[in-house]
């Protein structure tokens, strides 16, 4: 394969079609119990083979999103296993409350050099470290009804690492552990949201293909005294993500 080939062309066609149909189901465009287009209609719409459409539908059926009925067609399941998630607030307490909804699988805490991290430049700048310095690497996968929907990794100072355990990270959000077990008070945070292709290790954890699109939410947290506490990277499947923002009417009169 040509190494210069665009990443989206390396994603199997059936997977891209599956993601599009999945998005329509999870957003409610295809409602529970509704019959979705036939294989022939999808073939005509996408300009692909029947085998490609069958592979796409099989993935949806495997995840319980659709049901095939002999002689009748394919229907959206009456009970959708999961719904799209909403980020509804930037308040710290809301972020912690939302994180508490999920079942979490945590991995062993590792001590790594900054150069080994996925976001070395950001970690280096945030903590004013060199590539040879070390940080603690915390990793979790959050699941909603057994579906892995996001991978979360935090890079924290080594002197904070002893406050955390694999067991606790499986039961509580990191910010809550910091509040309960340390003398630090969360002062403020910044979050940046962008779309990125899935790297191989993340794709495997989230049951995706390498280069599948992900929502990357990167957050930085400081204590009330301005001390850097955590660099957080959340990689979320796009088919379970929806963003909501409240629009303040103040200022409309000046438009």
SS3 content of the chain, % helix, strand, coil (to 5): 35, 30, 35
The tens place of each residue's pLDDT in the chain, 255 residues long, gives 344 445 455 678 898 899 888 878 876 778 889 999 999 999 998 899 999 999 999 999 988 899 999 889 999 998 775 555 545 455 555 565 666 667 899 999 999 999 999 888 899 999 999 999 999 999 999 988 788 989 999 999 999 999 999 999 998 889 889 989 999 998 999 988 888 888 889 999 999 887 788 999 999 999 999 999 999 999 999 888 877 777 777 766 666
Q: Which domains does the chain have, with CATH numbers?
A: 7-76 (1.10.10.10), 85-243 (3.40.1410.10)
CA angle at 157 for the pair 93 and 236, rounded to the nearest 5°: 50
């Amino acid at each position: 394969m040509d190494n210069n080939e665009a990443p989206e062309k390396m994603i199997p066609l059936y997977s891209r079609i599956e993601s599009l149909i999945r998005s329509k189901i999870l957003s409610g465009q295809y409602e529970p119990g509704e019959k979705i287009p036939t294989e022939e209609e999808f073939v005509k719409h996408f300009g692909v083979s029947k085998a490609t459409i069958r592979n796409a539908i099989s993935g949806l059926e495997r995840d319980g999103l659709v049901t095939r009925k002999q002689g009748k067609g394919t229907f959206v399941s009456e009970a959708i296993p999961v719904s799209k998630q909403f980020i509804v607030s930037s308040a710290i307490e809301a972020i912690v409350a939302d994180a508490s909804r999920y079942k979490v699988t945590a991995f062993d805490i590792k001590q790594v050099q900054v150069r080994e991290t996925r976001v070395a430049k950001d970690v280096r700048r945030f903590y004013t470290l060199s590539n040879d310095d070390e940080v603690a690497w915390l990793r979790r996968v959050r699941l909603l009804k057994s579906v892995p929907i996001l991978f979360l990794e935090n890079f924290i100072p080594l002197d904070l690492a002893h406050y955390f355990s694999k067991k606790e990270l499986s039961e509580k959000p990191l910010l809550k552990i910091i509040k309960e077990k340390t003398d630090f008070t969360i002062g403020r945070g910044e979050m940046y949201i962008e779309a990125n292709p899935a790297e191989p290790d993340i794709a495997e954890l989230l049951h995706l293909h390498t280069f599948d699109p992900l929502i990357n939410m990167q957050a930085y947290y400081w204590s009330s005294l301005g001390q850097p506490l955590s660099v957080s990277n959340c990689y979320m499947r796009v088919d379970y993500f929806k963003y909501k923002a409240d629009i303040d009417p103040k200022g409309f009169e000046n438009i």
